[in-house]
Amino acid sequence: MLTGGAGTGAQLELASLHALGVNTVTVAIGFPILYQPFDAFDYQGYLSFYKQLAVNIHAAGMKMVVETGVVDVPGYCPTLADPMYLAGRAQQILTIAREIQPDYLVIAEEPDTEAETTGKPFIATVPGFSSMVDIFLSQLNSAGFTTTNVGAGVGTWIDNAQGYIQALAAKSRLSFIDLHVYPVDRTFLTDTITLIDLAQSAGKPVTMCEAWLEKRREAEFTGVAVTTNDSISARDPFSFWAPLDQQFLTAFAKLAWWKQLKVFSPFWSGYFHAYLSAYDSIAPDQILADASAVASTAIMNGQYTSTGLAYQSVVSATAVSAASFVPGPVAPDSMVSIFGIALAPSTVTGPIPLQTSLAGTTVTFTDSAGAAAAIVVRTGIRGRNALTDVQVSVGGVLVTPQYAGAQPQYPGMDQVNILLPPALAGRGALTIDLSVAGQHANPVAINVK
């Protein structure tokens, strides 16, 4: 990390993620990496690396999440008395807020993991974890960081997850609640939705700054820690998991759109660039090292896996088939779902027949030449002899109908599809005049933007 190569590698990875359509990057800066008493000699080098990384992220037009959990440094955290440990954690959080200034600062997450790593069981209780978060918030406020975007959260697998979320959501200084998702066994998927709803009902936005499909047998839940055991995470790098990884990412991207999460950040983004082929059993740490090496090479070569490209299609698509959620061309008269952020000021369900505007939001479709589509619904059209019998003018401009016939959804109604030429853009209120074999229909008023 303190070499020029690390900075170059980080810049290449940022560029590759940006090319996939990623707009927010999660960076873990675990305690005690930026706690000066831990390593006074290398402290400034680490700080300079992360400050430059923040500059590069923002220069790319991306947002930065910093998570401040704990790094497993053998023999360090367990030797610190609880007050000294909490003071050190608080000091590092202040350093990050002051020097790195991320868009989202997660000050505590996964209390069970932190308790296991540090040997401090009080953290894995609701009162203990809540008290720790209060200490960090108090330190931030005392130092003047009263507007920093600060959050805390848990993994969705933890016992009494709702108790933790309720305690965190009650803290007015917390800006958001963060969730980590790995296992999807048992009731963890429905629990995730419940936790999101619980936080949002308390007025807290939700982020999901770590998520990946964990490959775990049901029997292993009683004997293996959820996120800290290499024997579990070393299953992830193999290419035969790609279809399941893609299914997981697609499902959670839909969840993020549905629940309007502020951040959704897949954890093992290296598998967007390279997987390992299956080979004979070796040590888990060697598998993970090999996976990191092939991912680094793929990033330098601009290579992506099918999972990376699938994620790009999910996060970059704005309009997809409502039936399959597959981006790309859609058929005439089909249902289309449009995903994005801040598309409307409120949630509204449209009546039947479907509306052209809801909650002040209007959608206009154009063809490759820039012509917008319009649909006129009337009766008495399907009896025409030929499409040329149907004549349409918009604001006095003749347009050619693309279709004239039965309306596919509403029996007895007919429909005419036309393309509005780009020359009509900005004309405002116009009238559509429709005639079939010389018989004129009632005029239709439209507003062309």
Indicate whether 230 and 169 sit together in one domain: yes
Lowest mean per-residue pLDDT among 197-201, 326-330, 385-389 = 326-330
For residue 102, what pLDDT is reported? 97
> What span, in angstroms and rounded, lies between the C-alpha atoms of 311 and 387?
43
Give the CA count within 13 Å in the CB-facing half-sphere of 196.
22
For residue 172, what pLDDT is reported? 96
Structural domain includes residue 276: yes
Cβ pair 215, 269 in contact under 8 A: no
Structural domain includes residue 344: no
The CATH number that applies at residue 392 is 2.60.40.10
Query: Among the residues of 203-283, which ranges form H helices?
Result: 230-233, 242-259
- pLDDT tens digits along 230-249: 888 999 999 999 999 999 99
- Split into its structural domains, the chain has a count of 2
Indicate whether 172 and 248 sit together in one domain: yes
Indicate whether 381 and 302 sit together in one domain: no
Structural domain includes residue 112: yes
Residue given tokens 């959501």 in the structure block: 169
> What span, in angstroms and rounded, lies between the C-alpha atoms of 138 and 141?
5
For residue 439, what pLDDT is reported? 80
Strands 361-362 and 401-406: unpaired
Would you say residue 324 has pLDDT above 80?
A: no
Higher pLDDT, 138 or 395: 138
> Of 321, 353, 382, which closes a domain?
321
Average pLDDT over residues 29-43: 95
Structural domain includes residue 265: yes
**Structure-block tokens of residue 88:** 């050190």
Higher pLDDT, 223 or 283: 283
> Of 289, 321, 353, which closes a domain?
321
For residue 341, what pLDDT is reported? 47
Indicate whether 311 and 369 sit together in one domain: no
**Residue percentage of the chain with pLDDT more than 70:** 80
Cβ pair 164, 126 in contact under 8 A: yes
Indicate whether 139 and 33 sit together in one domain: yes
Indicate whether 102 and 15 sit together in one domain: yes
Would you say residue 1 has pLDDT above 70?
A: no
Domain range for 384 is 362-448
Lowest mean per-residue pLDDT among 105-114, 206-215, 219-228 = 219-228
pLDDT-derived band at 441 (thresholds 50, 70, 90) equals confident
> What is the pTM assigned to this prediction?
0.74
For residue 224, what pLDDT is reported? 47
